[in-house]
Structure 1
Amino acid sequence: MTKIKYELVPSEEQEPNEMKKPLNCIVKILFVVLALFTLVIYTLSGANNSLKSNADPFSPWKSMRLPLGWTNNPGDLSSPLDAKHTTRSLSTVKQTESTEATYSKVTDTESTTEDQTEITTIAHTDEVVESSTSLPASGAPKTETLYALEENGKKYFVNSPQCQMSHPNPFASNIQHIYKKHSYIVCDKSRDMITVNYNVTDSTYRLHKNENSSCCFKQILRAGTSANADHKYKLGPCVKFQQDFLVPTEVSAMITYCRRPPFDKVSQKDAFSFVHPRKDQIKNPTTLHRRRPSVLLWGIDSISRMNLELTMPRMFEYLNNQHWFELQGYNKMGDNTFPNLMAVLTGFNKTYANARCHPEKVRGLDACPFIWKDFKDKGYTTAFAEDWSKFSTFDYSSRGFFNPPTDVYGRPLVLAVEKELTTFQRGQMPYCLGRKPASEYIYDMGVQFTMVNRNSTFFGMFWTNTFSHNDFSMPSAMDERMVKYMRTLDKNGIMDNTIIIFFSDHGTRFGPLRNLDSGFVEERLPFIYIRVPRWIREKYPKLLRNLQMNKNRLTSPYDIHATLRHILELDTPKDKLPRPDGCSSCHSVFEEVDWSRNCSQAGIEEHWCACNSFSDVPTTDPSARSMSTQLVEAINKYVASKKGTERCSRLKLNRISSVQRRGSSNRYLIQLKAQPGDALFEATVDWDASAQRIPAQMPSISRLDTYAAKSRCSSVKETKKYCIC
């Protein structure tokens, strides 16, 4: 019987340099002193590694809790938290004739235990860059070097003739003023009465009682029918079990009830998930030419690239010190989670996704061509799990799935623990469910899923909302935990054959952070990192050079969908690879993205485009007043045209906050407040100066204040952000 334990992977130690033979006694003495000094340093370093090897156990099959007073372990990461992050300005980059040779050199320096990236430190800026990423692709225009990522004190994520995407400072004083760092919450300080032991050899689970107790479990089952198929669960009868009880393969989730003597009341309730192997599971071929990588999508709702750096510094440092490839110009394509994840999972835009997949109808989403179906057809085992059932991506104001969409599906567990266990809210989110944070039920299931399927191919998506959606500061509570999850995946060997995409859907959409000057970019730029196994890096070096080259180029969720399709056909020529339905010009990020790409070419509507070359227009300008008045009227007409919105108030313009013109176009970004309720809107409108009109159709609009409680009287999902009851 084996437990999966969390251990830190030690970093490589530097070997002492060989010294030349001394020519005289003085040099010999200096050499001896230097050798003794080196020995002391080496001994101290070894002691540090000894501390690393004694890291706390980390198992996805038991509650993971840190003791009170727990502080950051200095051995958790390979470099200190306060290390200066650096980046390279494109103006310092020069073309070379042999990019491939340079990449091969970097590959040869990799550690055999855990990939350690060669780092080039340039000057004090914002991040760590792999030395191999500093080379433009051979097809890049020479003029690209004229567009630096830092000019006149202003920094950019993307800086090209078609897109200047500013890089706000995550640590600016106005952000620090509203940021509050949170500590990890220990949801239950009591000792585990049940530990789940996992046998790696046969992928079985046993329930071990840690004290004299009487215990039983209730199986969690999916129980809904028709329109409620994805919204109901049921519990089986409480089945008593003895010590080291073998969990049946038909049990995928349970709630346990344990009683201490005199056994008259329940002493502890707990919940567990169990991922079992598929009976028809196909082993992954070992021959390199037939080998396929697994895919793991590991997501967090509502975190921008800037906010990741601010609130999760250890995770940010981990990502930048390993073989993770960042896309800094990754721009959302729609307002909230649904359109952005649908673009990733189906390649559809929001309009076509609603028309093709009918999320409001029973069985509508079941017929939708999600990418996990393509992986399933290739023999992959599939999984999908998401926390916070009320607001989950495919169930919020929707019917969800009639049948489980994947081989492993986390929703019945989430429904049960939200209802059956004690809930502790933080930031108006269900942070603790019973004995651990809500998000950890999802990520623990992800670790289980990858471990059970490590010798075959899998496609899994694990998505959380409960520590990020409502409070931009809250991710700080999960910073250490997230690093440990990634270290665990690495320790378990999952990264040897898995492409991992760690990403978000968008940044903060409302609240104090969004209302700052940096809020426009904050909302539109979610973070995304991609981890590629060594064997793919070695077999397909050109694809990796392209991925490196795309770091500071404009990309979108459609490109990630194309990348997922590309993973299934790595040997297919790029001109024969499928393109997303929602963006025919989008393609895999394993192919070089055009440096001068604009938002239209990336499938991004003008309103959601973070390329922000704006000029201010006085709010007292007559055209500003006219545009704003017409915008409010357009909102009123749109809401009135929908059934189920009869109780929504008619809005009136209260105040124009700002008007900005995009470049030299006739497009304007307007921010205004409307009454009642001080509703704060931001919209992009086209202005016909001769007719003094905006178009009759509804423009794309952001709602910048919280509105869930104010719009409950509307039964129409699309109108909730405009409705004031």
Structure 2
Amino acid sequence: MMSFLKEEPPLVCDEEEDWVTIKGNIARITDKALKKYGDIQCKFMDVLRANEFSTSLGVVTTTHTEYNLETSDFFRVYCESENGQFSWESRMAGIRFDEDVINRAGWDRVPKDGLGLNVLMIGLDSMSHMMVQRKLPKVYSKLKSMGAHILDGYNIVGDGTPQALIPILTGRTELELPDTRKRMGSKASTVDVYPFIWHEFKKHGYVTGYAEDVADVGVFTYRLKGFDQQPTDHYMRTYYVDATPMFNQQKPFCYGSLPRHKIMLNYVKDMFRVYEDKPKFMFAFHGELSHDYANKVAVAELDLVEWLEWFQRSGYLNNTMLVFMSDHGQRFASVRDTQQGKLEERMPFFSFVLPKWFDRKYPKMAANMKNNTKRLTTPFDIYSTLMSVLHKDGPRNNNVNKRSISLFNEIPLQRSCRDAYIEPHWCACLKWQPIDVDSTLASGAASKFTQFLNKYNGEYTDLCSPVEVDRIEWATKMAPNEGLLKFHQAADTDGFVPDMSANTKVTVVYLQLKVVTRPANAIFEFSCQYDSETNKYMFYEKDISRINKYGDQGWCIANSQPQLSKYCYCKQQI
């Protein structure tokens, strides 16, 4: 595994510091810039959300000192020195002073049976439990020193970021919610129809915020239709829609003198500064450094540690549940192509930091949280845990058959993937048994897989080349344990001694294969079910992962049928 890791040089941003800085809701021309250039005149223009994919500009405000954010969190700024020989410009983010939000929110509206905590979730895309320890060891150490409860048995329940975050934020899977896929056109709704948990917090007096940085592959906008109405009181997508076109004019991963990851970290800081005395629910999810890279996130380590130290030093941790997490492990990087990487994809980093007083006030809940770090947990459990902040004495769904159990309740030790509603394809607990790639079982599965893909593509278009098997890299089957197959019944009246006389015939097996296909040289991993009595293989599109990049191979359907992009190799290549 270590062969995939390498050192990353630190980011080198502009030497000259930005002329304008933001703290809370106030943007100020810096003393350093004024000392260097004399009187400076800056023109500020608010950046307003038009919709998920475009922005509009407000009126121009000219100042020689500072600018108060009142209409928007985001603005463009252009500054000139007194003699007109020097200029500087940027697109920036802070937290506006919103009087309506100030008046609406308050601790007096928080439920009496709640925990009385802010909720802050900081997420990094594609970081497994182990990768955080490898690439962000100082962050890991800092979290441990803060008393973090790190979930060792956290397991994803689906493929990709939406399937990781939708259960956390709604308590449901995408398939259980109204259809919001872009490709369904007018038949689908915008994701406003989802019962997002931040609505519950807003209803109970919380200020809400959602920040996500990579606008072109947004969690709810890449494949889904996005939001019609702004989802939270403060919504950072508007900034990234406006600022991203400028990024390619900057040094890598910088905007001016500031590393871009600090723009989001500072936005979270400003949220806590402006609403110092108000209950807050905020989710900030950063992807630029880690979505497509296995090593690049290391350049943010010291800034993340500094941010955690600031949060602790400022006293915000005294009434905040801090969640530091990821959605899944690496999916496209080279590490994902290994056995270890396969497991790590399914086991992202997830942790909770609670105030120091929590153990004393709620000893049972704290003990359960600690014990549950060693239990099998899922995104569904995170949803119930977040809901417990509003109602700590809510339903105690710690029955083994319940898929969503608050981490403040004890999760059964004997919980299995099936109990937790984790499908075999995603369960890191399963014991998989290698099978010969030349076996009839493996070759039959590979052949039926390409038939399935060709049929799936053919339902939407005739522009894709037929998919053929080039080779099978490996194949495994999930073998039921011997004890399960031989158990017949209890041999004594107490049920202590088993009767192991059964000879159960296995008729249904789960398979996983890694195959390379022609003509795209596409690499797929998939799960399927094989019924030996009917000699049939059963496939589901959601159980297929393409693990190498496909670039423009599906250019001919990229706009009309984007869901086919990872499967389609256009007959006519660019």
Distance apart, 1:367 and its partner CA: 2.5
Root-mean-square deviation over aligned CA pairs: 2.6
Whole-Å Cα distance in 1 between the matches of residues 272 and 237 of structure 2? 18
- Given that residues 269 and 421 in structure 1 are in contact (C-alpha distance below 8 angstroms), is that contact kept between their aligned partners in structure 2? no
Residue 452 (structure 2) aligns with: 634
- Given that residues 418 and 433 in structure 1 are in contact (C-alpha distance below 8 angstroms), is that contact kept between their aligned partners in structure 2? no
Give the TM-score normalised by the residue count of structure 1.
0.69
Q: Which amino acid aligns with 1:381?
A: V
Where structure 1 has 5 or more consecutive residues not aligned to the other structure, the ranges are 1-174
Distance apart, 1:652 and its partner CA: 0.4
- Given that residues 48 and 72 in structure 2 are in contact (C-alpha distance below 8 angstroms), is that contact kept between their aligned partners in structure 1? no
Q: 1:363 to 1:249 in 2, by over 3 A?
A: farther
Q: Does 1:447 align with 2:269?
A: yes
Residue 495 (structure 2) aligns with: none
The counterpart of 1:617, out of the listed 416, 420, 435, is 435
Whole-Å Cα distance in 2 between the matches of residues 254 and 547 of structure 1? 42
Distance apart, 1:207 and its partner CA: 4.1
Residue 565 (structure 2) aligns with: 720
- Given that residues 319 and 355 in structure 2 are in contact (C-alpha distance below 8 angstroms), is that contact kept between their aligned partners in structure 1? yes
Alpha-carbon deviations, 1:101-140, whole Å to 9, x = none? xxxxxxxxxxxxxxxxxxxxxxxxxxxxxxxxxxxxxxxx
- Given that residues 163 and 173 in structure 2 are in contact (C-alpha distance below 8 angstroms), is that contact kept between their aligned partners in structure 1? yes
Q: Does 1:570 align with 2:386?
A: no
Residue 395 (structure 1) aligns with: 221
Distance apart, 1:489 and its partner CA: 1.1
Q: Does 1:677 align with 2:526?
A: no
- Given that residues 330 and 555 in structure 1 are in contact (C-alpha distance below 8 angstroms), is that contact kept between their aligned partners in structure 2? yes
Q: How does 1:52-451 map to 2 (within 5 A)?
A: 175-196=1-22, 206-209=28-31, 210-211=33-34, 212-224=38-50, 229-243=51-65, 245-264=66-85, 266-269=87-90, 271-276=92-97, 278-284=101-107, 292-355=116-179, 364-420=190-246, 422-424=248-250, 431-451=253-273
Give the 3-state SS of the residue equivalent to 2:56 in structure 1: strand
Q: 1:493 to 1:697 in 2, by over 3 A?
A: closer
Aligned residues: 531
Give the TM-score normalised by the residue count of structure 2.
0.86
- Given that residues 385 and 410 in structure 1 are in contact (C-alpha distance below 8 angstroms), is that contact kept between their aligned partners in structure 2? yes
Whole-Å Cα distance in 1 between the matches of residues 352 and 381 of structure 2? 13
Q: 1:686 to 1:607 in 2, by over 3 A?
A: same
Alpha-carbon deviations, 1:511-564, whole Å to 9, x = none? 310112212101111100101123332221111111111112111101101111
Give the 3-state SS of the residue equivalent to 1:480 in structure 2: helix
Residue 488 (structure 1) aligns with: 310
Deviates more, 1:463-472 or 1:628-637: 628-637
- Given that residues 221 and 235 in structure 1 are in contact (C-alpha distance below 8 angstroms), is that contact kept between their aligned partners in structure 2? yes
Whole-Å Cα distance in 1 between the matches of residues 527 and 114 of structure 2? 49
Deviates more, 1:397-406 or 1:339-348: 397-406
The counterpart of 1:586, out of the listed 393, 398, 404, is 404
Q: 1:511 to 1:419 in 2, by over 3 A?
A: closer
Distance apart, 1:280 and its partner CA: 0.8
Where structure 2 has 5 or more consecutive residues not aligned to the other structure, the ranges are 481-507
Give the 3-state SS of the residue equivalent to 2:103 in structure 1: coil
Q: Which amino acid aligns with 1:718?
A: Q
Q: Which amino acid aligns with 2:457?
A: V
Distance apart, 1:321 and its partner CA: 2.1
Q: 1:300 to 1:393 in 2, by over 3 A?
A: same
Whole-Å Cα distance in 2 between the matches of residues 419 and 571 of structure 1? 48
Distance apart, 1:331 and its partner CA: 0.6
Distance apart, 1:196 and its partner CA: 3.5
Q: Does 1:561 align with 2:383?
A: yes
Q: Which amino acid aligns with 2:458?
A: A
Whole-Å Cα distance in 2 between the matches of residues 248 and 659 of structure 1? 58
Distance apart, 1:259 and its partner CA: 2.0
Distance apart, 1:234 and its partner CA: 2.2
Q: Which amino acid aligns with 2:416?
A: N
Distance apart, 1:721 and its partner CA: 2.3
Whole-Å Cα distance in 2 between the matches of residues 179 and 323 of structure 1? 28
**Identity percentage of aligned residues:** 25
Whole-Å Cα distance in 1 between the matches of residues 93 and 102 of structure 2? 21
- Given that residues 686 and 695 in structure 1 are in contact (C-alpha distance below 8 angstroms), is that contact kept between their aligned partners in structure 2? yes
The counterpart of 1:599, out of the listed 417, 425, 435, is 417
- Given that residues 301 and 504 in structure 1 are in contact (C-alpha distance below 8 angstroms), is that contact kept between their aligned partners in structure 2? yes
Alpha-carbon deviations, 1:340-386, whole Å to 9, x = none? 11010011112123537989668621222100000011011000111
Whole-Å Cα distance in 2 between the matches of residues 282 and 586 of structure 1? 29
Whole-Å Cα distance in 2 between the matches of residues 536 and 220 of structure 1? 41
- Given that residues 47 and 76 in structure 2 are in contact (C-alpha distance below 8 angstroms), is that contact kept between their aligned partners in structure 1? no
